[in-house]
Amino acid sequence: MAKAKLAIATFVAAMAVISPAVAQQLSNAQRDAAVQFALNNTRHTMFHEIGHLLVDQLDLPVLGREEDAVDTMATLLMLDTGTEADVVGLQDTIEGWLYSESFRPSRGYVNSAFYGAHSLDIQRSYAMVCLMVGSDYDRHTQYATRISLPIDRQTSCAEDYRIAERGWSAVLEPHRREGAPASDVSVQYRDTRGEYPEAQALLEQAQVLEQYADWVAKNYVLPRPVRMTAENCGEVNAFYDLETREVILCYEWVDFFYELYVSDIMPVREHFELMRKLKLDKLGRLD
């Protein structure tokens, strides 16, 4: 964690040099928050793609749509740590998906939104919240209520969590390393060719790919070598390549969530924080 914080500070300094216009507009705290938001959205995504990797490499059974299943696995993994950092990471991921709805064309949904491999972003966000509140009602009900998950649904989420946790534990447990040699998981940061130098610098300095490669190698026995790769993709995406056995994180993904935070989420958060302070100040004067 200390290395990650140092890397964020280094990246913030790099942003000031690489993007002077942005540096003049944002404070250090704002840039730090934007970087953390991008990293948090990347965390759930990396576990999601690692889920695809494990399904493929371990020949795991999947009942239902695989995209939904690995969404669930990623959420369970982050909840299992119990850390406040991962809770905030889940909340940032949820906000990222909810804000993605604002980019939907004015005509609304089209057929491809319903027959695609993924559930709608808004469905994915509420499914994640349900697992959160199902795992610990007292800890997460306030957040679930804030994003409009009704109390009657919240109380039923405990069963959703129980079934999901039991299912993933059952299929993953036989493949845990438990003293076996570490799996062969390599890392590659491909050059962005000058398109997303900030995103590449952040991922390399924070050793993002190394963290997930180390997690996979230490926890599961894989039959073949696999790789974690960062590269330009020509789109905002992350995916698992079955042929090359690579989890690929696109630099465009990191850039998108950094910009999303700065342009859409940061103004809202700062507005509500200001309103909160004004309310507390008013209450203090009344006392």
Per-residue pLDDT reduced to its tens digit, 124-138: 999 999 999 999 999
A 10 A CB-CB count for 285 gives: 7
Instruction: Determine if residue 193 is left, alpha or beta; phi over 0 gives left, psi from -120 to 50 gives alpha, anything else beta.
Output: left
Residue 100 in this model has a pLDDT that exceeds 50? yes
Per-residue pLDDT reduced to its tens digit, 142-188: 999 999 999 999 999 999 999 999 999 999 999 998 888 889 999 99
Residue 172 tokens read as 């993953």
∠ at Cα 258 (85, 93), nearest 5°?
45
A 10 A CB-CB count for 67 gives: 17
Question: Which range is least confidently modeled, 31-35, 43-47, 52-56, 114-118?
Answer: 114-118
Residue 207 tokens read as 């050793």
∠ at Cα 62 (83, 234), nearest 5°?
70
Banded model confidence at residue 17, pLDDT cuts 50, 70, 90? very low
Domain that holds residue 153: 2-286
Residue 7 in this model has a pLDDT that exceeds 50? no
Instruction: Tell me the DSSP string of 61-94.
Output: ---S-HHHHHHHHHHHHHHHH--HHHHHHHHHHH
Residue 36 tokens read as 């953390």
Number of domain units in the chain: 1
- Report the predicted TM-score, pTM, of the whole model to 2 decimal places: 0.83
Residue 114 tokens read as 């319903």
* Eight-state DSSP code of residue 147: T
Structural contact between residues 221 and 180, judged by C-beta atoms closer than 8 angstroms:
yes
